Amino acid sequence: MTSGKLGLSTAAALVVANIIGTGIFTSTGYQAQSLHDAGTMLVAWVMGGVLALCGAAAYAELGAMMPRAGGEYVYLREAYHPAIGAMSGWVSLTAGFSAAIAVSALGFATYLHDVVPGLDAGMSQRVVAVALVLAMTGLHTLDTAIGGRVQTAFTIAKVGLLLLFVIAGLALGNGDWAHFDARAGGITANVPTGAFAESLFWVGFAYTGWNAAAYLASELRDPARTLPRALFLGTAGVIVLYLLVNVTFLYALSPEELGAPVVDVGAAAASALFRPTAGKVMALLVSLALVSSVSAMVMAGPRIYAAMAEDGALPAALARRTRRGVPAVAVTVQGVLACAFILVGDLGKLIQYIQFTLFVSAALAVGAVYVLRVRQPDLPRPYKTTLYPLTPAVFLVLSGWSIYMQVKSQPWGSLAGTLTLLAGGVAYAVVEWRKQALAEPAPEPLPTATIVD
C-alpha cells in the first residue's frame, strides 16, 4: 500500500472541496422555506459552522490517534463494536458518498441547464450527471497523486469563483439591504423554534465534508500533525466563505424570493445583482465548480470501503489496489452506485436521506471520543479535542435537535436512512456468518463398516 503522498495543502483542499458542493448553491433556497428572516438564516449558517468545527475537533483526536484510512468505520469499530463500524461504513458507501456524489452531479446538470436551455430537467440532465461521475471515476482509478493535484486546482478555482462573486456582488451589484430587515420577530424569536432546527438540517448538509481528510489518514504525510490542521484550516475557511456568500445571496434576493424555493440560488442571485446574462455565466461557473465536489468525493470514499474489505467486513475485491496504491475496484463500485442514485433519485429527497444518515453516523463518531477516553485512556493521543468535553457535547446536542426535527417533519428521509443502517447490520451479520461457516472444520468421516461373508 502506498502511503504518505498527500501533504497539508492537498488535505486541506480536500476538506474545502468536499464541503463546498451542491449545498451552498442550493441549501439557502430550501432553508428559506422554513425561515423568512435574513438575520436568523445567517445565525443558522454560523451555528452550522460551529457544529462542523466541534465535529472536526473530535475527528482530529480520533484520526490522529488512529491514522488509518476508513474514517467513522475505524472509530466506531474500536469504540463500540465491529458491527457498528460496519453499519457506518455501509452508510458511507451509500448515503455518505455514492448518494452525495449523485446530488453534486445532479446539481452540476441543474446549473448547466441555465446555460443550455435545451437540457431539459428530465433524462437529459441525468445523462449529463452520469457522464460526469464516469469521467471522475476514471480519473481517480489512475493515481492518487495525480487525482490530488487535479483536486487542488479545482478547489482553488472554486474558492476564487465564490470570492469574486462576493466582491463583485456587494460592491457593484444591484441588491437591497432592506432584505435584512427583521421579519417574524427577528433572531431572538426564530432561533428557539422547530423551523430553525429544520433550517439547521439544510445548513448542515452544506457543511457536509468537514471530516473528509480523515478518510485518507493513512495516505497523509505525518498524519498526527497534518490531519488536525487540515480539518481546522479547511473548515474554518469555509465558514467565513459561506457567511460572505449568503450575505451576498440575501443582498440579491429577499428571504421570500429565495423560499420559492430557488434551487439554483447562485444563478438567480447573479441575475438579480447584475443581469440575466450574468446569471448564465454564474451558472456555468458553478457547474464547473461542482466538478470539484464530485472529484473530491470520488477520491475520498473508496478508502473507507478498502479499509473495511481489508478487515473482512466487505468483499475482499474492494481492497485490491493498483501499483500506484489506488483502490480501483472500490472506486468503480462507488461510481456504479452513484449512477444508480442519479437515475432513480430526486434532489431534495436525496439531500434529506443523506443528511439524516450522516448526522447519525457523525454523532456516534463524536460520541466515540468520550467512550475511548474512558475505555482506553492510555492510548497515545497526539492531538486532544480542544475544549474537551464541551465541544463534543455541543455537536451532539445540536445534531440531536436537528435529527429530531427532521424525523418529525420529513419522515421519508429518516426512514430511508434507518433502513440503510439496518441493511448495514444485516450485511455485517451475513459476512460474519460466512466467515464462521468457512472456518468450521469439516466433519470427520464416519467409520466404514466391514462386511464379513
For 77-91, the pLDDT digits (tens) are: 889 988 888 888 788
Q: Is the pLDDT of residue 356 over 80?
A: yes
Phi, psi (degrees; rounded to nearest 5) at 220: -95, 145
For 383-421, the pLDDT digits (tens) are: 888 899 999 999 999 888 888 887 887 787 778 888 888
What are the structural domains, with CATH classification, of the chain? Answer: 8-438 (1.20.1740.10)
For 148-194, the pLDDT digits (tens) are: 566 667 778 878 888 998 999 999 889 999 999 888 777 888 888 88
**Higher pLDDT residue, 261 or 43?**
43
Determine the pLDDT at residue 2.
Answer: 42
Determine the pLDDT at residue 449.
Answer: 52
Binned at pLDDT 50, 70 and 90, residue 442 comes out as low
Binned at pLDDT 50, 70 and 90, residue 450 comes out as low
Q: Is the pLDDT of residue 122 over 70?
A: no
Kindly state the percentage of the chain with pLDDT values over 90.
18
Contact assessment for residue 28 and residue 258, using Cβ atoms and an 8 Å cutoff: yes
Q: Is the pLDDT of residue 1 over 50?
A: no
Q: Is the pLDDT of residue 225 over 80?
A: no
How much is the average pLDDT of 114-139? Answer: 79
**Higher pLDDT residue, 449 or 291?**
291
Long-range contacts at 364-367 (CB < 8 A, ≥ 24 apart):
364/72, 364/76, 364/80, 364/84, 364/88, 365/58, 365/59, 365/62, 365/71, 365/72, 365/75, 365/76, 365/88, 365/211, 366/54, 366/55, 366/58, 366/59, 366/392, 366/395, 366/396, 367/79, 367/392, 367/396
